Every structure is written in C-alpha cells, then in structure tokens.
Amino acid sequence: MSRLASTPIEIMPLGGLGEIGMNLMVYGYENKLLVVDCGLTFPSPDTPGVDFIIPDAQFLFDNRERVVGFILTHGHEDHIGALPYIWPKIEAPIYGTAMTLGLLEGKFKEHGLQNQVEMIEVKHRQPLQVGPFNITFIHVTHSIVDSSALAIRTPLGTIVHTGDFKIDHTPINDRPTDLHSFTNLGEKGVLALFSDSTNINRPGATIAEMTISTVFDTLFSQAKGLLLVATFSSNIQRIQQAINAAAVVKRKVLLNGRSMVSNVNVARALGYINIPADILIDIKRLNQYPRNEVMVISTGSQGEPNSSMVRIASGEHQDISILPGDMVVFSSKFIPGNERTIWTLINLLFKKGAEVIHEKNMPEIHVSGHAPLEDLKLMLAMTRPKFFMPLHGERRHLYSHRQLAVSMGIPLQNALVLENGDRGVLDRNSFRIDGTIPSGRVFVDGKGVGDVGDIVLRDRKHLSEDGMVVVVMMVEKATGEVLQRPELLTRGVVFEEDHQDLLEEAKDAVESALVLGSKGMNFADDEVVGAPELAQRALRRFFKKRLGRRPAVFPLVMEM
C-alpha cells in the first residue's frame, strides 16, 4: 500500500451541522484543504438588528496557504452567501456549475470583487483535479437549477457528498437526478456517504415538481383580479411554471424584486428559463393593463421586513396594490422561524380583501427541494458506503439520519454524527472524532463584519426588553460637585408626558444617592465611586422597585 493510500482524510465542518443553513465543510488530505460550500444563515429573535450570520472561518484564514479551492454544490444563499466575506482573506479558485457561478458573480459585483475572483465553470460528469482531490460533479434535482452532488476521490477512497438534493424523475428542465452515476460509484466502492438530512423526518418519496403546474393551471384560471405569486427568486423552475401557466390564461407577467429580476436575467442568459416573447412587462407599464390581465411574480414570500411583499400588503408599494378580489399565491415553504412574519403578511393581505393561497391551506402549492425518507434510503442503497455521516440539519435530523443508515446495514460504529468544529478522521478502517478546530458564528450588521458580538447582542436585547434611561448631570470640574438637579431622558420605559411625577421621584433618588455617597449605596468600602456610578445604581434600584423593570442606565456627565 502506498503512503498516500494510508493517509487519512480530515472531515472538518465549520457550518451546517447541528443547524439549518450556514453550510461550510472542509476536507483535509495531504496537508491540503478543500472547502465545499460557504453559506450564511439568517438571524433569529435572539440576534436583533443582525442582517445575517456567516461561519467563523478563522481556521481557514490561519491556513490559507493550504486551501486549494472552493467547491460549490449549488447557488442558494445558505451555500454561497458567505463567500464575499470569506474569500477575500483566502483568494483560492472557486469551482461551480454555470448557474451557481452566475448567481455568485452578482454577489461579488455588489462587493466590488467581480474582477478579482478566479471562477472556474464545471460540467457534470467531467472529473477535475483540485490539489490532491479528484472531483466529479453529479447532477441532482433540487429547488434551484444546476445543483450538484460531489464524488471526491483520493487514493484512500471515494467520498460522496450529496449537497442538497431530491430525486425527481420528471423535473421541469428534463434533467432528473443522475441515478446512474450514484449506482456506478456504489458498484466501484464508496468509502463514505455524507448525505443531506433536512427532510429525514418526512415520510414517502419526492412529489414531482410537475404537480405544481397542474395546481397553477387550476388556480390561475379561477383568478378574477390581479394575480400575485410569491416564491423564492432562486427557484427558476417554479418561476418557469408560473410563467407557463400565465401564458395559458393570457396574462402579462411582471417580475418584482431586485433578486427576482437579477436571477431570471442570469437564468435567461444561460438558457435555464424560456420566457415567451412579449409576455414580460416593465413595472412602469403595469397601469396600462387591466388587473385581470397581469400576474406579478414577487420576492418576499417569508414576510421579510421591508420586502416587496410586505410593502405591497401594507399599501406602501409605489406601483403595486392589492384590491378586493385579487389572488395571492404563496408557492413557497414556511421556513421554520419565519412563521410569525409570514402569518402577519398573510393577515395583511386578507385585510385588503385578497384570496390568499399558501401551503397551510393548500399543501400541494409547494414541493420541497430536499429528499424525504424514501429518497434518502435510495441514496444509501445506490452508493452502498462503508462509512456514513449525515449533513445539513439540526441534531434531531442528524441522529435520525444516522439511525436510518444503521437500519440499512451500516454498522453503528461506522455511522458518525459530527457537529461544527469537530475534526473527523477517516481512513480505510475507521471513522472517528479526533479533537476540534476553531468554529463559531460571525454576525454581519450593515457594513460591520464581526464587530457585533455576544455583549452587543445582550445589550440590544436588554434595550428592546426594558428600554433605557439617560441621566444628565452638570458637575463642577474642579470639585466634582453636582451643580443642578439631574435631567432624565427615557426611551422604551415610560411615556414621559404621562409620568412626570414618576420621573421627578427618580431625580430625587439620584440626588439622595449623591448626598449619601458610596456607603449609602452599598459600594465596597475601598471602591472609588463617582457621581456617574452613584446615579446609575440609584436609578436601577428605583425603576426595579417602582416598575419591576431593569432599564439600561447611561450616566452623562457635563463638566463646567
């Protein structure tokens, strides 16, 4: 056996395991690192004010000279969205299919990086060598075109990394999942399968995407006023179905939302979407057509703040309005965590008098892009791996998927669950966890990357829950003596005009604290305490006692 054939492969996830989104996997071999996907995730109520979250890639930054390339399975945000923030500190080549790179190019352009990045287009079934890794992209069906699984070959053996996938035998673009390639790999021998776990708890097999076309045909023929379809701008096949159905009922189509227009333009340039001549109209021409002759395809299906759909539903959109009798179709999933904002949006649309169709009152209006239970079984049966690791999901998904693999004959000791930061070591005879690498989350807020941490988030939550009080004190510079009665400014605590008596009492509490000094406010005997600290403690006590609240208190001292 050669030295290379006995060198173990390192498996090091930095995102996407133990969570949904933010996918980033690192493979190590012969002192080289291969990065598969580099995605982001979106904030939760626990991260107020944050725009989105990316993986902590410090491990890659510290080992940038070892990184041989970024391999992208498809163009969804949770697989490519972090690249404009992480790539500039590494500058390794990026490999992906045409649609994936087309979407990524737009992101790099927004960051002023479009002429600096080496992006290499890859065809399915055509092997390429990236450092010590021989990689073949395998076509899979998903909710975005040009999606791929990966066969990653080393002298030690072959790893199949599925990416996000489902098995749809009749997709809209006539390109089903490449079952032949998976089966061929299984016949030759697969060392390990790393497989998407998102829909492990959904029984059955994939529902064909074609079924959506029939649903659209029925619904669109019933629409009486304006027809509005909300879906993901990356779901080019769904957009194609909506356009096809609109053509049947002779409606013009308006694309609404910056990402919707941009993604469709990329897909048209690459030949992934076919739009009949003269069916598209510009938003400025909308009023030239009767409402019952137009369909709007819009972003904002998750009820994101300030999205086009929210502005339309609230009557704040400059060009598009909802009137009684209009039909709004949400051809998208209620993503976990977004349910409240989606229902708020739907309620606004109902209030406007629209008929609203969504997956909760018509489940057949959306088909998932992820493999349910029977598809996952088929992937295991085709590849017949020696070792198994679940990808993409929370702990409950990962452990359920491992249980499925064991039920299909993989020994328990060969089915391993890793989480972000684990260092897995894979050789011909074992798969084990051997230590950890640095990992975590980095918050992106506006132009700031990483400057918002746990302390800042804690302060934001504190402010959002209890408000703040600013106490302004005029102090004699030479003596430290307070020259006049303190002033208070509150936000999120009480409505000041209705609570002047309470605020006067609060000022009394500050003045008493300044008179009593540190001993009166229970500071340590040896602690040096000035007016700001005394005022802060006095106000915290006062509002806790009187209102049962703990506002953030900020002393502001003006020296005279």
pLDDT of residue 119: 96
* Shared-domain flag, residues 328 and 179: no
Domain-located, residue 47: yes
Q: Is 426 helix (H, G, I), strand (E, B) or coil?
A: strand
What is the tens place of the pLDDT at every residue in 241-266? 999 999 999 999 999 999 999 999 99
Residue 231 has pLDDT above 90, yes or no: yes
Last residue of a domain, one of 382, 415, 449: 449
- For a pLDDT cut of 70, what percent of the chain falls above it? 91
pLDDT band at 478 (very low <50, low <70, confident <90, very high): low
Q: Does residue 516 or residue 225 have the better pLDDT?
A: 225
Q: How confident is the model at residue 221 (pLDDT cuts 50, 70, 90)?
A: very high
CATH of the domain at 555: 3.10.20.580
CATH of residue 418: 3.60.15.10
**Cα separation, 99 vs 94, whole angstroms:** 13
Over residues 118-163, the pLDDT tens digits come to 999 999 999 999 999 999 999 999 999 999 999 999 999 999 999 9
337, containing H or E segment: none
Residues ≥6 apart with Cβ < 8 Å to 172: 209, 210, 213, 237, 240, 241
**How confident is the model at residue 462, as a pLDDT?**
61
**What is the rounded distance in angstroms from the CA atom of residue 72 to the CA atom of residue 132?**
17
Same domain, 104 and 193: yes
pLDDT over 90 (residue 336): no
Between the alpha carbon of residue 57 and those of residues 42, 61, 105, the distances in Å are: 17, 6, 21
What is the number of structural domains in the chain? 3
Give yes or no: residues 195 and 320 share one domain: no
Assess whether 502 and 359 both reside in one domain: no
Domain boundary among 334, 365, 396: 365
Residue 185 pLDDT exceeds 70 = yes
For residues 216 and 81, membership in a common domain is answered with no
Q: Are residues 359 and 377 in the same domain?
A: no
389 falls within a domain: yes
pLDDT tens digits along 35-55: 999 999 887 666 656 678 899
Same domain, 337 and 407: no
Rg of the chain, C-alpha, whole Å: 29
Are 18 and 52 contained in the same domain? yes
Q: Which of 340, 365, 390 finishes a domain?
A: 365
pLDDT surpasses 50 at 528? no
- pLDDT band of 511, cuts 50, 70, 90: confident
pLDDT at residue 71 greater than cutoff 90: yes
Question: Which two three-digit tokens encode residue 231?
Answer: 């879906």
Structural domain containing residue 241:
210-365
